[in-house]
Amino acid sequence: MELSPFLQDLSQQPIIQRLLIIAAYALLAKAVDIFVNRILKRLAAAYTTSELDDKVISILHTPIVFSVFFFGVFHAVTMEPVLAQPWEKFVPALAQSVALIVWTLAALRLFMVVGEHYLKSIAGRGKIGADLFLLLKNVVRVIVIVSALIWLLSIWNVNLAPLFASAGIAGIAVALAAKDSLANFFGGISIFADKTFKVGDYIIIDDAQRGEVVEIGVRSTRIMTRDDVLITIPNSILANSKIINESAPIPRFRIRVPVGVAYGSDLEQVEAVLLTVAAENPAVVKEPEARVRLRGFGSSSVDFELLCWVAEPRFKGLEIHNLLKGIYAAFAAHSIVIPFPQQDVHIKGLPERVGE
């Protein structure tokens, strides 16, 4: 009976009340730990096939449990009566700082896991996808760390005005020094976001350079011309250039073969022969079918055009070559004349010779 008043008096002590609050939050943190381990992880494993959610739960598990506990510490040390100096400010700031560090590390790990999960699909869009991922990974890491550091300094009431002033001056200097690099970087982002072209596409730049895209980087893009010349173009220039993508929206590419026949030729026969030549070429796709169009009457020929499709733009030059050879042989076999420019000179009379 004498122990009960003692316990009542003891429970009225501020330090005991704070310890009881911390103990209660510790029990709550343990309950959260059991819920995550025994229920949430099992539900994720049973109802989802992806490993991403399991990794996310594992990463967030520790910060959530620690946050519950540190919230209890913060609650305990801020209750009335307040702690004596310097503990009144030191202990809450320490609890907030530890929680901030735990969540910062968790945010960095979470971004890495989510990024690696989607890296394969990102890298499938070319080297720029992997490059941008690696670059953004470092940028996000720096942003998270700097933000956490600024938050940490604000928790300890450190004056940030001189730091921001110095950062602003340094940022202006870096921006001026890296102006071209930043332009190329944002040009690469626009190419990646707009999906203008991808590795393997055949493009024409400003109606001049034509080639296959072999690499798309953060700063520049490389194309291989049909002369096997590698051209490196800064992304800032590409972002402001006229781009013709011969491989989009589908790789199939139409080629045009102009043909002239002599006047008096059987036009139906010419059309049939051209279609036969296209049909016998294995590189010409069957769908859509090849077609022949009469384009006009030239000065010395009737002008036709054979239109057909090949599987990829890379076959354009080779198959025009093969089709022209096939057309020449087929016309010779069917006695179809291919005219060439010529002039007939008619002499009405010769001048009389002097002295005859």
Query: At residue 6, does pLDDT exceed 50?
Result: no
Q: Are 69 and 29 in contact (CB under 8 A)?
A: yes
Query: At residue 22, does pLDDT exceed 60?
Result: yes
Predicted pLDDT of residue 179: 67
Whole-number Cα distances in Å, 298 to 215, 266, 295, 327? 44, 16, 9, 19
| Confidence class for position 280, pLDDT limits 50, 70, 90 | very high
Predicted pLDDT of residue 10: 46
Q: Are 95 and 70 in contact (CB under 8 A)?
A: yes
Confirm whether pTM is higher than 0.85: no
| Confidence class for position 266, pLDDT limits 50, 70, 90 | very high
Q: How far apart are CA 17 and CA 243, in angstroms?
A: 72
The candidate with the shortest Cα–Cα distance to 175, out of 187, 219, 192, 167, is: 167
Predicted pLDDT of residue 217: 75
Predicted pLDDT of residue 122: 58
What residue spans of 38-126 are helical by DSSP H?
41-47, 52-78, 87-117, 119-123
| Confidence class for position 257, pLDDT limits 50, 70, 90 | very high
Q: Give per-residue pLDDT as tens, 85-109.
A: 666 667 677 777 888 888 888 888 8
Predicted pLDDT of residue 3: 47
Identify the top-confidence range among 78-87, 102-111, 149-158, 190-199: 102-111
Name the DSSP letter for residue 38.
I
| Confidence class for position 316, pLDDT limits 50, 70, 90 | confident
Query: At residue 223, does pLDDT exceed 70?
Result: yes
> Of the given ranges (23-27, 105-109, 130-134, 146-150), which has the lowest mean pLDDT?
130-134
> Of the given ranges (43-47, 101-105, 128-132), which has the lowest mean pLDDT?
128-132
Predicted pLDDT of residue 20: 78
| Confidence class for position 163, pLDDT limits 50, 70, 90 | low
Q: How far apart are CA 210 and CA 138, in angstroms?
A: 35
Structure tokens at 263: 């006047």
Query: Which percentage of the chain shows pLDDT scores above 90?
Result: 19
Query: At residue 1, does pLDDT exceed 50?
Result: no
Q: How far apart are CA 221 and CA 235, in angstroms?
A: 6
How large is the average pLDDT for residues 272-293? 92
Report the sign of the C-alpha dihedral through residues 262, 267, 270, 275, in that order.
positive
Predicted pLDDT of residue 292: 94
Q: Are 251 and 308 in contact (CB under 8 A)?
A: no
Q: How far apart are CA 185 and CA 183, in angstroms?
A: 5
The candidate with the shortest Cα–Cα distance to 220, out of 229, 232, 208, is: 232
Predicted pLDDT of residue 295: 93
Predicted pLDDT of residue 114: 76
Computed over every residue of the chain, the mean pLDDT equals: 79
